[in-house]
Amino acid sequence: MTPFVTLETVWLVIGFLGQGLFAMRFIYQWIYSERVGRSVIPIPFWYFSIGGGLILLAYAIHRADPVFITGQAFGVLIYGRNLHLIYRERREVAD
């Protein structure tokens, strides 16, 4: 008899969780832009990107998919760099 929850099922849930978190960045950005009446990329967009990207990277590593791994790893670096630039600019403006 096979257990209902297998390791592969857990990884599928992790993959869907990452994809859902990654998709939330677009939903959040859309709602935020509608509220302010112009296209804006709010800071939580980048946090959703990093969170979803890291979870999807873990899933890609589990699946041993080099294309998926490369894409997610590169994306996470870009999202982090964007946050760094945003916070650096805010510090410069504050000074």
Q: In sequence order, what are the residues at sequence separation of 6 or more whose Cβ sits closer than 8 angstroms to the Cβ of residue 22?
A: 48, 49, 52, 53, 55, 56
Q: What does residue 21 show for φ and ψ, rounded to 5 degrees?
A: -65, -40
- Residues 15-38, mean pLDDT to the nearest whole number: 94
Is the model's pLDDT at 60 over the cut of 80?
Answer: yes
- Residues 81-89, mean pLDDT to the nearest whole number: 96
The per-residue pLDDT for 1 is 55
Q: Give the separation between CA 60 and CA 47, rounded to whole angstroms.
A: 19
- Residues 23-28, mean pLDDT to the nearest whole number: 94
Structure tokens at 87: 């916070």
- Residues 64-72, mean pLDDT to the nearest whole number: 95
Mean pLDDT of the chain: 93
Q: Give the separation between CA 80 and CA 47, rounded to whole angstroms.
A: 8
Q: Which residue spans within 1-75 are E strands per DSSP? A: none
Structure tokens at 67: 């294309």
